[in-house]
Amino acid sequence: MEERPASTLSALEYDPAPESAGLARLREGYGLFIGGAFVEAADGATFETINPATEEPLARVAQAGEADVAAAVAAARRAYDKVWRKTTGAQRSKYLFRIARLIQERSRELAVLESLDNGKPIRESRDIDVPLAAAHFFYYAGWADKLEHAGFGPDPRPLGVAGQIIPWNFPLLMAAWKLAPALAAGNTCVLKPAETTPLSALVLAEILQQAELPDGVVNVVTGDGSTGAALVASPVDKVAFTGSTEVGKVIQRRLAGRPTRLTLELGGKGANIVFDDAPLDEVVEGIVDGIFFNQGHVCCAGSRLLVQESVAEDVLHRLRRRVDQLRVGDPLDKNTDVGAINSAAQLEKIRELTAWGEREGATRYTSPCALPERGYWFAPTVFTDVAQTHRIAREEVFGPVLSVLTFRTPEEAVAKANNTTYGLACGVWSEKGSRTLWVAERLRAGVVWANTYNRFDPASPFGGVRESGFGREGGRHGLEAYLDV
What's the burial of 393, exposed, middle or buried (CB within 10 Å: 0-12/13-18/19+)?
A: buried
> In terms of CB distance, is 17 or 345 closer to ligand ADP?
345
**Closest residue to ligand ADP, Cβ-based?**
228
Q: Does 142 bind ligand ADP (CB under 6 A)?
A: no
DSSP state letter for 382? E
Q: Which stretch binds ligand ADP (CB under 6 A): 30-38, 142-150, 179-187, 245-253?
A: 245-253
Q: Does 298 bind ligand ADP (CB under 6 A)?
A: no
The one-letter amino acid code at 89 reads G
> In terms of CB distance, is 167 or 286 closer to ligand ADP?
167
Q: How far is the CB of 220 from ligand ADP (least distance, A)?
A: 12
Taking the C-alpha atoms of residue 310 and residue 305, their distance in angstroms, rounded to an integer, is: 14
Q: How far is the CB of 242 from ligand ADP (least distance, A)?
A: 7
> In terms of CB distance, is 192 or 416 closer to ligand ADP?
192
Binding mask 2-31 for ligand ADP (x = CB under 6 A): ------------------------------
Total residues contacting ligand ADP (rule CB under 6 A)?
A: 16
Q: Does 224 bind ligand ADP (CB under 6 A)?
A: yes
Taking the C-alpha atoms of residue 448 and residue 429, their distance in angstroms, rounded to an integer, is: 11
Q: Of residues 244, 325, 451, 460, which one binds ligand ADP by CB under 6 A?
A: 244
For the chain, the helix, strand and coil percentages under 3-state DSSP, each to the nearest 5: 40, 20, 40
Give me the DSSP letters along 208-244: HHHTTPPTTSEEE---SHHHHHHHHHSS-SEEEEES-
> In terms of CB distance, is 195 or 333 closer to ligand ADP?
195
Q: How far is the CB of 400 from ligand ADP (least distance, A)?
A: 15
Q: Does 251 bind ligand ADP (CB under 6 A)?
A: yes
> In terms of CB distance, is 232 or 350 closer to ligand ADP?
232
Residues in contact with 328: Cβ distance below 8 Å, sequence separation at least 6, in sequence order? 336, 337, 338, 339, 367, 369, 371, 377, 379, 380
Q: Say if residues 445 and 456 touch (Cβ distance below 8 Å).
A: no
- CB atoms under 10 Å from CB of 272, counted, come to 28
Q: Does 243 bind ligand ADP (CB under 6 A)?
A: yes
Q: How far is the CB of 282 from ligand ADP (least distance, A)?
A: 31
Best CA proximity match to 158, nearest among 73, 81, 265 = 81
Q: Does 119 bind ligand ADP (CB under 6 A)?
A: no
- CB atoms under 10 Å from CB of 156, counted, come to 19
Q: How far is the CB of 178 from ligand ADP (least distance, A)?
A: 11
Residues 326-345 that bind ligand ADP (CB under 6 A): none
> In terms of CB distance, is 191 or 274 closer to ligand ADP?
191
Q: Does 261 bind ligand ADP (CB under 6 A)?
A: no
Q: Does 225 bind ligand ADP (CB under 6 A)?
A: yes
Taking the C-alpha atoms of residue 257 and residue 62, their distance in angstroms, rounded to an integer, is: 32
Print the SS3 string covering 447-476: EEEECCCCCCCCCCCECCCHHHEECCECCC
> In terms of CB distance, is 228 or 475 closer to ligand ADP?
228
Taking the C-alpha atoms of residue 309 and residue 302, their distance in angstroms, rounded to an integer, is: 18
Q: How far is the CB of 141 from ligand ADP (least distance, A)?
A: 26
Indicate the angle between helix axes 171-184 and 130-143, nearest 10 degrees: 10
Q: Which stretch binds ligand ADP (CB under 6 A): 32-40, 221-229, 403-411, 440-448?
A: 221-229
Residues 167-206 that bind ligand ADP (CB under 6 A): 167, 192, 194-195
Best CA proximity match to 342, nearest among 405, 298, 383, 289 = 298
Q: Does 229 bind ligand ADP (CB under 6 A)?
A: yes
Q: What is the dihedral of CA 453, 293, 102, 143, to 10 degrees?
A: 20
Q: How far is the CB of 269 from ligand ADP (least distance, A)?
A: 14
Best CA proximity match to 189, nearest among 208, 173, 210, 170 = 208
Q: How far is the CB of 47 from ligand ADP (least distance, A)?
A: 11
Which residues are designated catalytic? 265, 299
Residues that bind ligand ADP (CB under 6 A): 165-167, 192, 194-195, 224-225, 228-229, 232, 243-244, 247, 250-251
